[in-house]
Chain A
Amino acid sequence: MARRAALELKDGYYANLGIGIPTLVANYIPDGVDVTLQSENGMLGMGPFPYEGEEDPDLINAGKQTITELRRSSYFNSADSFAMIRGGHIDLSILGAMEISENGDIANWMIPGKMVKGMGGAMDLVAGVKRCIVTMDHTNRAGASKFLKACTLPLTGLNCIAMVITDLGVFEREENDRFRVSELAPDVTLDEVKAKTEADIIYT
């Protein structure tokens, strides 16, 4: 999924990668594609993890991991960081999700009755970034579809997801249109996708 999502990063993009699978996308950026990664705690041009012994407590990413800077890097405060995000200056955000609905709603921050950790910057990202892509497992541990007619969990954002990449395939959506199966993962059939998708999507 991370490898497939990386193909959505275009040359010259400023992108924000969420925690989990989206973080791994950075490892698969194609050669010749120049991407600047934003970390919403206040950095553009996120570099790789430091060598052991060179960790800097004043230099972390939004997942609180130690990182390094690049020649292109810049630092800024949280208000400027979210001016980039909410002001529509970030080209692409790749996020994880608990549920996606057929009209592009996303739920990824809260399960009622369980401890709520908070939305962090997720609501700002889905409301402000030009294009938002989700990577997630197609079904939950019980085998139920996570790609639904309507989200059952509290929402993170409305009508904001343009593409869903799951272990079964890639689902693309034109603005205000239905999602369409655009790719199947290896050894996955359309019938399997149909069986595991609750959302009304286009299969041709």
Chain B
Amino acid sequence: MSKKVFETAEQALDGLTFDGMCVMAGGFGLCGIPENLIVALRDSGAQNITAISNNAGVDGFGLGLLLETRQIKKMMSSYVGENKEFERQFLAKELELEFNPQGTMAERIRAGGAGIPGFYTKTGVGTVIADGKPTREFDGETYIMETGLTCDVALVKAWRGDTQGNLQYNKTARNFNPMMATAGKITIVEVDELVEVGTIDPNFIHTSGIFVQRIIQAKCEKRIEKVTTRERGAA
């Protein structure tokens, strides 16, 4: 068996968690979040965590679990609208929050993982996002400088992975996961289905195993935030 494969989320996190650590967690809303690894991170007891994730989960699920236990000191997100406990802690100034435009956040993570310390973007020019950031003109247009992001541990959710850590994602559960996989000093992945090396066509691997240090197979609840349907017979 590959040394990358662990039996449980708890074992996969063993020795990697510490107070003040910076964690990235993949997902958009509750779609494509590393559910089991988040629970294991909570159970590790690590405090004063900086969490980089597009959203903050919901009350009692996803990163909402770590908010309940006050393990998160700072969140970096683009949208946090679905979490009452988040709101309470933020308004009580118990929680730091850094908003990033969603595309800027994705690119900061991509850049960090690619060894690019900074880049320029038009997004946020003339807004509070630009406050304190260097600007530069290119072809007569103003751009602001954003920095790359990395983290101590990246928690990633993929659909299928092999024992070398080669990954495939499913549909819109991909979102931030591939960039985060590149940006962790250590990247831990939970997959719906763990397969032997050679099972996944090399031509259709989304994330190469070089970015993945640990992998587990785990069952996810996959809660749906907003179930919307149409009537049969309708267009």
Contacts and interface: CB of A to CB of B under 8 A. Distances in A.
Interface of A: 39-43, 48-52, 54-67, 69, 75-79, 81-82, 85-86, 105, 110, 115-124, 127-128, 154-158
Contact of B77 (A40, A118, A123): A118
Interface string B116-136: 000001111111110000000
A35 to B, nearest CB: 15
Contact of A123 (B80, B106, B123, B228): B123
Contacts of A42: 28, 172, 174-175
A174 to B, nearest CB: 19
28 contacts: A55-B224, A56-B171, A57-B222, A57-B224, A58-B159, A58-B170, A58-B171, A58-B172, A59-B171, A59-B172, A60-B31, A60-B172, A60-B224, A61-B172, A63-B226, A64-B30, A64-B31, A77-B174, A77-B178, A77-B206, A78-B28, A79-B106, A79-B107, A86-B103, A115-B87, A118-B77, A121-B103, A156-B127
B235 interface: yes
Contacts of A127: 121-125
Interface of B: 28-32, 54, 77-82, 87, 90-91, 99, 101-107, 109-110, 121-129, 159, 169-179, 206, 222-232, 235
Contacts of B79: 117-120
A58 B31 contact: yes
Given A40-B102, A58-B31, A119-B79, A49 B107 contact: no
Contacts of B77: 118
Given A57-B31, A118-B79, A155 B126 contact: yes
A79 B227 contact: no
Given A51-B231, A85-B103, A123-B103, 19 more contacts: A42-B174, A48-B235, A58-B159, A64-B226, A66-B226, A75-B174, A77-B174, A78-B28, A78-B179, A86-B123, A115-B91, A118-B77, A118-B80, A119-B99, A121-B102, A123-B123, A128-B123, A155-B128, A158-B126
Contact of A119 (B78, B171, B206): B78
B24 to A, nearest CB: 12
Given A58-B222, A117-B79, A49 B99 contact: no
A49 B228 contact: yes
Nearest to A156: B127
A38 to B, nearest CB: 12
A48 B235 CA distance: 8
Contacts of A122: 101
A80 B110 CA distance: 10
Contact of B103 (A51, A59, A66, A82): A82
Nearest to A123: B101
A120 B171 contact: no
B167 to A, nearest CB: 12
B56 to A, nearest CB: 9
A78 B159 CA distance: 17
Q: Which of A40, A57, A122 has the most CB of B within 10 A?
A: A57
Contacts of B174: 42, 75-77
Nearest to B56: A118
Nearest to A78: B106
Contact of B124 (A60, A115, A123): A123
Given A51-B232, A58-B31, A59-B171, A78 B102 contact: yes
A47 B9 CA distance: 35
B230 A49 contact: yes
A115 B81 CA distance: 9
A128 B225 CA distance: 28
Contacts of A115: 87, 90-91
A39 B127 contact: no
Nearest to B177: A77
A76 B229 CA distance: 24
Contacts of B122: 86, 127-128
